[in-house]
Chains A and B, each alone.
Chain A
């Protein structure tokens, strides 16, 4: 004999409870929190270093870095004088809301307008774990190929903004930027798309304007 019991409970409830607490903290304290998601090597840290440096004196940004190992990225952020907390996931492919909650306690949040979470480099897993962020930002870089939005649609569909980085390499790699943009908009017609080069500074002004407007929460 067997007995069926209806449950109807979210499996990742533990994570969602932390995410809800984080979201409440950001809302109550009027902080913009961005969850930045991309493949490894798309240039997330370089974008952050450039952004923090260029916006010094205008926006106060703190960073939560997620990597499998090392605090190399947090060191790069701290070199700009911005505060950074490193989370080493020791193998895990995504950050959890509980890890972000702990990291927030180690950031001087009173002094910040914007908290940016640089998730573990991975286009699949982080999209399943809400962190309580205000918005997700997907980053795609031109050497990865213009077919990334079609191959990994979930993260592009869920992101408020998409950064296309390394446009200084457009002449050297086969990346059809119009195709990439069209495919992103098919999944997410409201997505803001920022083609930039964090290396040369091209296109960064539009990203800064968006960041500045979005921080007025």
Chain B
């Protein structure tokens, strides 16, 4: 349940930007890789709880899960690496080069400009 810690960090970052923009955030887009171990339901719940009574209350959270890029050493096929099924989808090979895992990123914030 490290989602609570992530939600708190995320909230601080959004609040700082909201102050800069002097506007209320309506939606927030973040992205992460599999190693961030983010469960959408838990993070949404934790964010909603953390945002209560702040300028972020009611802001929608959009979570994009980014894949790790893999390249099979045997048949050279490029594919999205699935950590829960670590095989080349083309030749079933088990040796691949992998890109580093995508970090947990605050991508963008949409502010109400009314």
Residue of A nearest to B24 (CB): A2
How big is the A interface, by class?
A: 20 to 34
A residues near B1, Cβ cutoff 8 Å:
93, 125
Q: Which of B23, B84, B86, B105 contacts A3 (CB 8 A)?
A: B23
Provided the pairs A6-B108, A9-B105 are in contact, do residues A158 and B37 lie with their beta carbons within 8 angstroms? no
Provided the pairs A12-B6, A186-B94 are in contact, do residues A7 and B109 lie with their beta carbons within 8 angstroms? yes
Inter-subunit contact A187/B2 (CB<8 Å): no
For B73-114 the 0/1 string (1 means CB < 8 A from A) is: 000000000011010000000110000000111111111111
A128 contacts partner chain B, Cβ-Cβ < 8 Å: yes
How far apart are B35's CB and chain A's nearest CB, in angstroms?
5
Residue of A nearest to B94 (CB): A186
Residue of B nearest to A96 (CB): B5
- A3 to B105: give the CA distance in the assembly, Å: 19
B30 contacts partner chain A, Cβ-Cβ < 8 Å: yes
Provided the pairs A125-B1, A125-B37, A154-B37 are in contact, do residues A3 and B114 lie with their beta carbons within 8 angstroms? no
How far apart are A16's CB and chain B's nearest CB, in angstroms?
9
Inter-subunit contact B34/A7 (CB<8 Å): no
Inter-subunit contact B106/A8 (CB<8 Å): yes
Inter-subunit contact A128/B37 (CB<8 Å): yes
Inter-subunit contact A2/B35 (CB<8 Å): no
B residues near A2, Cβ cutoff 8 Å:
26, 110-113
Inter-subunit contact A14/B34 (CB<8 Å): no
Number of interface residues of B (CB under 8 A): 35
Residue of B nearest to A158 (CB): B35
Inter-subunit contact B83/A157 (CB<8 Å): yes
Inter-subunit contact B113/A9 (CB<8 Å): no
Provided the pairs A92-B5, A128-B37, A189-B95 are in contact, do residues A11 and B86 lie with their beta carbons within 8 angstroms? no
How far apart are B114's CB and chain A's nearest CB, in angstroms?
6
Q: Which of B6, B21, B37 contacts A11 (CB 8 A)?
A: B6
A residues near B114, Cβ cutoff 8 Å:
1
A165 contacts partner chain B, Cβ-Cβ < 8 Å: no
For B5-48 the 0/1 string (1 means CB < 8 A from A) is: 11001101100010001010010001000111110000000000
How far apart are B100's CB and chain A's nearest CB, in angstroms?
11
Q: Which of B37, B86, B104 contacts A187 (CB 8 A)?
A: B86
Inter-subunit contact A8/B107 (CB<8 Å): yes
- A94 to B84: give the CA distance in the assembly, Å: 23
For A113-154 the 0/1 string (1 means CB < 8 A from B) is: 000000000001101110000000000000000000010011
How far apart are A120's CB and chain B's nearest CB, in angstroms?
10
Residue of B nearest to A129 (CB): B2
Most buried by B among A96, A124, A186: A186
- Lowest 6 CB-CB distances: which A-B pairs, in order? A125-B2, A1-B113, A153-B83, A11-B104, A186-B86, A7-B106
Binding site for A on B (CB under 8 A): 1-2, 5-6, 9-10, 12-13, 17, 21, 23, 26, 30, 34-38, 83-84, 86, 94-95, 103-114
